[in-house]
């Protein structure tokens, strides 16, 4: 983002689905501008021969073997439940009839 470009902070806030006061818009305009300037600096890095990746380190077959293992007993599973009844966690009712 060049120095002469004015950021439409209202548009950015709308994309992020946030409401900003005028004071917040002025504050964030400068901060977002600084972030975009940093991305401009990153575009100067020589990445010739660097393969795109989603992780910094290679990740292969990160899943455990699918083997049956003993689970928790009902008593162990409910040990920290705030309320329980008939081996089940009791939670507040949220559906009104």
Span 14-50, pLDDT tens digits: 888 989 899 998 888 888 888 888 888 988 999 898 8
Half-sphere exposure of 17 (CA within 13 A, CB side): 0
* Gap between the Cα atoms of 60 and 66, Å rounded: 16
Whether 7 has a pLDDT exceeding 60, the answer reads yes
Task: Read off the pTM.
Answer: 0.38
In terms of C-beta distances under 8 Å and separation of at least 24 residues, what long-range contacts does 80-89 make, across chains too? Answer: none
* Gap between the Cα atoms of 35 and 33, Å rounded: 5
Residue where the block lists tokens 């599973």? 77
The runs of H, that is alpha helices, within 1-97 are 9-15, 22-42, 74-77
């Amino acid at each position: 983002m060049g120095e002469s470009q004015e950021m439409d902070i209202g548009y950015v806030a709308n994309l992020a689905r946030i409401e900003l006061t005028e004071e917040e818009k002025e504050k964030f305009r400068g901060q977002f501008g600084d972030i975009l300037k940093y991305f401009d600096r990153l575009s100067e890095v020589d990445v010739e021969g660097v393969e795109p990746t989603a992780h910094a380190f290679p990740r292969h077959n990160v899943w455990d073997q699918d083997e049956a293992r003993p689970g928790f007993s009902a008593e162990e599973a409910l040990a920290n439940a705030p309320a329980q009844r008939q081996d089940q966690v009791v939670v507040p009712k949220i559906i009104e009839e």
